[in-house]
Amino acid sequence: MHCTGFLRSRLAAALLVVSVLAGCAASGSYTEGKLADGTTSVLLTHLKSLDEGNQKVIADLEFRKDWNGLAKVAEASIKLTPHNADWWFVAGYAYSRAGHHGLAVERFTERVRLAPDDMVGWNLLAQSLRDAGQPLRAVQALTNAHLVRPATPATYYLLGESYTDLNRYLPAAAAYRESVKLDSKFSPAWFGLGRSAAELGNRGDYDQALKALQHLDPALAKKLAAIRPRDRSN
């Protein structure tokens, strides 16, 4: 399954996390590292335990971008039903959208404790850790996620991004490579692979990524073409 439209704008972090991270990969327009806006329906679809009334409240607050209001509703519900993983998900999402990344990390950490087999929660946790300036912890979270169940293209993509944050391009390239193996149309992962290959001076992976992007996302292909691969002989 493929979603359209994504990537990097710090404010849009939680949204990569709710659409790709919900299990969709992506072909379409990207910036550099995260997702774009417009994933309300994906958020609501993921809230399996919440009734129609609560989903309506959530949808209304999300539509109005009232992140503080959404967080207050989630926190009040957590006090009443602390073992409901969905409310921790909503709270983390709200805090992430409001830019309170430390609070988002805390809520998503509890989310994965309560629902460890849900890869979306792990992905959101990892993205929030990246936004909080903790890419090493993001790597650790994603590694733990892989122990729970098979990884998704988005999970490997975020692992690649986390390693890139750490300037560790060899493991980053390996993660991006796994992502495109699982979904050959996942443009952001191809871009990540090409960018890592350029840093490593790996012309083969770079050319492969550039060729894939020329078919999937010409804008990203142009961006990658502007990055000159390092000369490994120097």
CA distance 232 to 35: 33
Q: What local confidence, expressed as pLDDT, does residue 29 receive?
A: 36
pLDDT digits (tens, 9 = 90+) for 97-106: 999 999 999 9
Q: What local confidence, expressed as pLDDT, does residue 159 receive?
A: 96
Q: What local confidence, expressed as pLDDT, does residue 1 receive?
A: 37
Which residues in the chain land under pLDDT 70? 1-46, 233-234
Q: What local confidence, expressed as pLDDT, does residue 87 receive?
A: 95
pLDDT digits (tens, 9 = 90+) for 146-199: 998 888 899 999 999 999 999 999 999 999 999 999 999 999 999 999 999 999
Is residue 82 exposed (0-12), middle (13-18) or buried (19+ Cβ within 10 Å)? exposed
Q: What local confidence, expressed as pLDDT, does residue 4 receive?
A: 35
Cβ atoms of residues 184 and 216 within 8 Å: no
Cβ atoms of residues 36 and 13 within 8 Å: no
Q: What local confidence, expressed as pLDDT, does residue 41 receive?
A: 46
Reduce the DSSP state of residue 2 to 3 states and report it: strand
| Domain spans, the chain | 2-225
The CATH number assigned to the domain with range 2-225 reads: 1.25.40.10
Q: What local confidence, expressed as pLDDT, does residue 45 receive?
A: 67
